[in-house]
């Protein structure tokens, strides 16, 4: 389905960044633990502004993502969030494993079949959302909380997490015509970004007011070199030679 960005330095950068964000408790799980994910990270040629998580632990960063990200810390936030989403699905899978048979059948009936979109297993989240009001919102909030926690543990400036949502809106204001035509859902997307940004700002005030930000990482030369390669790839241009900074 995806074509890899044909540059080994860029692939290594995404892989190493992703690996640095995996929480220790996940890395230390034995290989036969049902909650264990064998994470793999790839940079692919795709103009969409998206990171996709698959149930087997593969996380795909699309080249279009670099069109609005401003620095490495913002990328670290989104990759941490993708890891958190898989962690939540793993916790759901484990709880279902230990569920009694009768309850499992009832849950399966509520979920139904066919909630698979683009290779993503949506059934668990959709099914639970049917039976519990607000559960999807709580999953979204928890993914943001974990992303903040894990990017901070990796040494990144967590103030860039809410900034990442603002960067998207600045790149795609409501009145901008998106090629090839206006995106009818752009206003809704921007409203969602505003909600997520407000939530993250509240989290920073409530739980991270004592953080010493002077020692945290915000950006790197490697990020901007890979961003340039990603933009070249999605526009079909020839890759520039690898730079020493990579």
SS3 annotation, 171-203: HCCCCCCCCCCCCCCHHHHHHHHHHHHHHHHHH
Please provide residue 245's backbone torsions phi and psi, each rounded to the nearest 5 degrees: -65, -20
Q: Which residue has the higher pLDDT, 198 or 109?
A: 198
**Choice between 95 and 76, residue whose per-residue pLDDT is larger:** 76
Kindly state the average pLDDT of the residues 169-181: 63
The whole-number average pLDDT for the span 4-24 is: 96
- Residue 145: pLDDT above 60? yes
Per-residue pLDDT for 187 more than 50? yes
Q: Which of these, 187, 144, 190, 136, lies nearest to 167 by C-alpha position? A: 190
Taking 90 as the threshold, does the pLDDT of residue 189 lie above it?
Answer: no
Q: What pLDDT does 6 receive? A: 93
Express as a percent the part of the chain with pLDDT over 90.
51
- Distance between CA 49 and CA 217 in Å, rounded? 23
CA–CA dist 62, 3 (Å, integer) = 10
**What's the whole-number average pLDDT of the chain?**
79
Q: What is the pLDDT of residue 223?
A: 97
Q: Cis link prior to 180 (omega < 30° from 0)?
A: yes
Q: What's residue 45's pLDDT?
A: 93
Q: How confident is the model at residue 115 (pLDDT cuts 50, 70, 90)?
A: very low
Average pLDDT over residues 90-118: 45
């Amino acid at each position: 389905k995806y074509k890899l960005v044909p540059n080994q330095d860029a692939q290594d950068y995404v892989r190493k960044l992703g690996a640095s964000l995996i929480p220790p408790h996940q890395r230390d799980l034995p290989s036969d633990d049902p909650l264990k994910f064998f994470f793999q990270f790839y940079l692919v040629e795709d103009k969409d502004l998206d990171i996709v998580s698959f149930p087997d632990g593969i996380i795909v960063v699309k080249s279009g993502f670099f069109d609005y990200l401003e620095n490495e810390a913002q990328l670290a936030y989104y990759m941490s969030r993708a890891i958190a989403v898989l962690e939540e699905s793993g916790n759901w899978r484990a709880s279902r494993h230990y569920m009694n048979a009768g309850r499992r059948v009832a849950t399966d009936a509520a979920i139904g079949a066919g909630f698979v979109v683009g290779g993503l297993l949506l059934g668990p989240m959709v099914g639970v959302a049917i039976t519990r009001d607000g559960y999807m919102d709580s999953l979204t909030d928890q993914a943001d909380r974990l992303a903040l926690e894990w990017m901070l543990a990796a040494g990144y400036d967590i103030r860039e997490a809410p900034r990442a949502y603002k960067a998207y809106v600045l790149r795609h204001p409501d009145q901008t015509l998106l090629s090839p035509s206006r995106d009818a859902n752009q206003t809704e997307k921007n409203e969602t970004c505003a909600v997520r940004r407000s939530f993250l700002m509240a989290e920073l005030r409530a739980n991270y007011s004592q953080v010493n930000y002077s020692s945290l990482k915000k950006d790197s030369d490697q990020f901007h070199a890979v961003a340039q390669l990603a933009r070249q790839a999605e526009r079909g241009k020839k890759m520039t030679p690898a730079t020493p900074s990579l």
